[in-house]
Structure 1
Amino acid sequence: MLHMVKRQMYLILGGVFFVTGLVGIVLPILPTTPFMILAAGCFAKSSPRFHQALLNNRWIGQDLQRWEREHTMLRATKVRATWVIVIMFSISIAVLMAKPWLQFILIGIALVLLFFLWRVPECKNESA
């Protein structure tokens, strides 16, 4: 019975993290990749079908597989993520021209995201 409850909780959490990751594609304040990694971890413990669906996804599958295998990212992925963060936060900051305190908060969040993104170890083999 306890096993079934844990499995259901992991399934629900995986779904929440997956949806949050999807929302993070369009909202700059939510980073997509960490939520997809969390979703994959939860699905690995609850639903092999959903776990495989994430690992086989054509957009994020290879990055998730690499993360599960090595806990690394490709430099190209980091660069792409950096550009997305910079562009999306710049748009948000431009929209909030009348609220400088919100702009400073967004700049701070962007810097924290970039700091943690670039602390992730890089894959030794770029062609992996």
Structure 2
Amino acid sequence: MNKHLYWAAAALAVSLLSPLAAAADGVMHKDPYCGCCTAWAEHMQKNGVAMQSRNEADMSALKARLKVPADLRSCHTAEIGGYVFEGHVPADLVKKVLKDKPKIVGLAVPGMPMGSPGMEGPSKQPYQVLSFDEQGRRSVYATR
């Protein structure tokens, strides 16, 4: 096979496989019966962050393993790019963390605030997105 044909075939293979690689961007762990978790995953997909969904039997143990402080926990937990995203974190902030690579475990939106991604509805309440580190320290990363 000549060199040009080889490189063209390689480029085609990469372009065909890239959607498969994108599908591995992140995994969202959730209770199998949660609807807002699915809505959050759709928000992520619409904003260019591919998300696989994984139903979990023991979310509490998973959150503990991933070092999510108990008072920051919400309904679902995502692992993306080596970071943890707890609850209804907006996609733009997920992308910012992935780009900036801060020294944190991840971001959390405690509870399920109305108007956050996946919790859209007739009203919107202000909420904070908190960062947290290995020692459990946290700070306000953004206010929405």
Instruction: Quickly name the TM-score band, shorter chain normalised.
Output: under 0.3
**Structure 1 length as normaliser, TM-score?**
0.25
**Structure 2 length as normaliser, TM-score?**
0.24
Higher strand share: 2
